[in-house]
A and B are shown apart, each in its own frame.
Chain A
Amino acid sequence: MSALFPAGTSVRVRDDWPETRGACHIRTPHYLRGVRGVVEKHLGAFANPEDLAFARPAAVLNLYHVRFSPQAIWPDAQGDALVVELYETWLEAA
Chain B
Amino acid sequence: MSSLLETPSDRLLAAVRQLLTAKGVVTREEIAERIRTTDNASPAQGARMVARAWVDAAYRARMLADGAKAAEELGIPMRGMPPLGVLEDTAGEHNVVVCTLCSCYPRAVLGYPPFWFKSAAYRARAVRDPRGLLLEFGTALPAWVKLRVVDSTADYRWMVLPLRPAGTEGWSEERLAAIVREGDMIGVTFPKLP
> For chain A, which range describes its interface: under 10, 10 to 19, 20 to 34, or 35 or more residues?
20 to 34
- Contacting pair B155 A85 (CB below 8 A): yes
A1 on the B face (CB < 8 A): no
In the complex, what's the smallest C-beta–C-beta distance from B167 to chain A, in angstroms?
A: 28
B101 touches A78 (CB 8 A): no
Contact A27 B101 (CB under 8 A): yes
B131: which A residues are within 8 A, CB to CB? 78-79
Please indicate which of the listed interface residues A31, A74, A77, A78 has the most CB atoms of chain B within 10 Å of its own CB. Answer: A78
Encode B113-130 as 1/0 by CB contact (under 8 A) with A. Answer: 000000000000001111
Complex interface: chain A residues within 8 A of B156 (CB): 43, 63, 85
Q: For residue B146, which residues in chain A have a CB less than 8 angstroms away from its CB?
A: 80-81
Cross-chain pair count, CB within 8 angstroms:
75
Interface residues of chain A: helix, strand, loop or mixed (majority):
mixed
* Closest CB in chain B relative to A78 CB, distance in Å: 4
Assess whether A49 is interfacial by the CB under 8 Å rule.
Answer: yes
A84 near B148 with CB under 8 A, answer no
Q: Which residue of A lies closest to B95 (CB)?
A: A83
On chain B, which size bracket covers the interface?
20 to 34
Judge whether B147 is part of the interface by a CB distance below 8 angstroms.
Answer: yes
Closest Cβ of chain B to A49, distance in Å, is 7
Interface string of A37-75 (1 = CB under 8 A from B): 000000110100100000000000001000000100110
Question: Is A44's CB under 8 angstroms from B83's CB?
Answer: yes
On whether A84 and B155 interact (CB within 8 A), knowing A78-B128, A79-B127, the answer reads no
Query: In the assembled complex, which residues on chain A have CB atoms less than 8 Å from the CB atom of B93?
Result: 80
A residues 27-41 touching B (CB-CB < 8 Å):
27-29, 31
B153 on the interface (CB 8 Å rule)?
yes
Q: In residues 121-157 of chain B, which contact A (Cβ within 8 Å)?
A: 127-132, 146-156
Q: What would 8 A/B residue contacts be, using CB atoms closer than 8 Å?
A: A27-B154, A29-B151, A29-B153, A31-B100, A44-B155, A46-B154, A78-B128, A82-B151
The 8 A-B pairs at the shortest CB distance, nearest first, are namely A85-B154, A80-B146, A46-B155, A78-B131, A81-B148, A79-B130, A84-B151, A79-B147
Chain B residues near A (Cβ < 8 Å): 83, 85, 93, 100-101, 127-132, 146-156
Binding site for B on A (CB under 8 A): 27-29, 31, 43-44, 46, 49, 63, 70, 73-74, 76-87
